[in-house]
Structure 1
Amino acid sequence: MCNLYKMRRPADEVARIFAAEAAGRPNVGEDVYPGYPGLVVAEGRVRAMTWGLPLALTGRSGQRLKPRPVNNAREDKLTTPFWRDSFRHRRCLIPVDAWAEAEGERGRMTRTWYSLEPEGAFAVAGLWRATPEWGDAYAMVMVDGCPQMAEVHDRMPVILDRSDWQAWLEGPPDQAMALCRTSLAPLRVERTTEPWAAVRARPHRDSSDAMPRLL
């Protein structure tokens, strides 16, 4: 599953690429992690939302625990209660320059980046909803990985062709579901020596120690 991606373009450039309105100057980082803010295109605007929908948790004694960010949604789970309403009514585009997967031995994993050829921003299928815990939050839709990723991971984000952006945003659910397919577009693969678990700033909420999840 995808737990790190980057978008290194400012909101006004993203708005131009996606023919959307720029809603102010969102304060987002270039590298986006679960529980942190990222840019999305929803309702005709480029907006900052939290990456990961909160999953309520309880302890053994029934006490409420900090929620976990569920940042990825399997395409075969989109009609389950956790995702159903967002899939039907609140789909979004997630602007991405590249996404990363962990590669290597446990404890020594490094970041391998995937992007489209030719290099440029692309749209990943997303879902969003308003949450009482973190405000507006979003998740990526995931499908089976393409052959180029087989050595590293068996899942990848849904990459939408430009001609399918509007159908994903506004089409009926059955049309949107048909777009949840593995992209066979050539990928640019960049293997790095950067540790997978690199140090990063803490998010602005108390879910910073929560592990991301795929549902």
Structure 2
Amino acid sequence: MCNLYTERLGPDAVAAHFNVRNPLASNAGAEVFPGGTGMVVREEGGERIMQSMTWDFPVRLKTMAPTAKPKAVNNIADLEKGMWKRHAVNPRGRCLIPLTGFAEAEGPKGSMTRTWFNVKGQPIFAWAGLWTDDHQYGWGPVYSGAMTECNEAIRPIHSRMPVLLVPEEYDHWLHGSFEDTVAFQKRCFPDDLIEITRTDELWVKKKMPKPAPDAPATLF
């Protein structure tokens, strides 16, 4: 599970990296937690745009009571299953999640600390994601990131990792076939591209409140 990532360089740097033509001021936080607001790059009308969305997808499980609220899901375990395939088969439902690092908890229970990961030589990189504008539950624009089996660099800390993309892969994720998206989730990201930074910052779980129904989206 990835439950914390950062985007610390701001909208202008993100726009330059992802070839977004008209960035505006961002309301996305530098540290992004599930349920919080993050910055997403997607395509519309043949151009890349930046948009702030909620990091959580509403998901209803078959075992839930008809009146139960949907479950918030911020990580995608398997693109070939259920609702994820429905979104992934259409390139319009894919997005790039800009980040400067992601964190996992490490250490003994009760005193776990943040361990950060980034891609070597990439001040900004991308997490392969899906997005939708949810009207059924009134959550508005939401996104989630695809996860995969960890590589050997991360394995001592966690068994899973985000599906990371380098710049030459961005178009492939956004425009490739459904089979291409699945291939990204099944590949092993190179060990030598991962940089690890251990800290003494305590790991504190943080869950942001869900957006109000029909909350307005912010375009960049």
Q: Match for 1:190 among 183, 197, 214?
A: 197
- Superposed CA offset, 1:21-78 (max 9, x none): 3453231100001111101110110111111101237998x4634433211112xx21
* Residue matched to 2:168: 163
Equivalent position of 2:87 in the other structure: 86
**Is 1:33 matched with 2:38?**
no
2:215 match: none
In structure 2, what is the Cα distance between the partners aligned to 1:201 and 1:101?
15
Structure 1 Cα separation of the partners of residues 165 and 28 of structure 2: 23
Instruction: Answer whether contact 1:125 1:158 (CA < 8 A) is retained.
Output: yes
Q: Shift in Å at residue 171 of structure 1?
A: 1.4
Q: Distance in 2 between matches of 1:103 and 1:189?
A: 12
Q: Give the 3 Å change call, closer, same or farther, for CA 204–9 of structure 1 in structure 2.
A: farther
- Aligned-partner residue type, residue 186 of structure 1: L
Partner residue in 1 for 2:53: 49
Shift of residue 150 of structure 1?
1.2
Question: Residues 117 and 188 of structure 1 are in contact (CA less than 8 Å); yes or no, is this contact kept in structure 2?
Answer: yes
Length-normalised TM-score, structure 1 = 0.85
Q: Is the 8 A contact 1:12 1:22 kept in 2?
A: no
Give yes or no for contact 2:38–2:54 (8 Å, CA) kept in 1: yes
Structure 1 segment 73-112 matched on structure 2, within 5 A: 73-74=76-77, 77-89=78-90, 90-112=93-115
Partner of 1:72: 75
Find the counterpart in structure 2 of residue 8 from structure 1.
8
| Percent identity over paired residues | 36
User: Number of paired residues?
Assistant: 202
Equivalent in the alignment of 1:209: none
Q: Which has the higher strand share?
A: 1
| Cα offset, 1:190, TM superposition | 0.9
TM-score normalized by the length of structure 2: 0.83
Match of 1:210 in 2: none
Partner of 2:159: 154
Q: 1:66 to 1:18 in 2, by over 3 A?
A: same
2:111 corresponds to which letter in structure 1? R
Unpaired runs of 5+ residues, structure 1, are 207-215
Q: Secondary structure at the match of 2:83?
A: coil
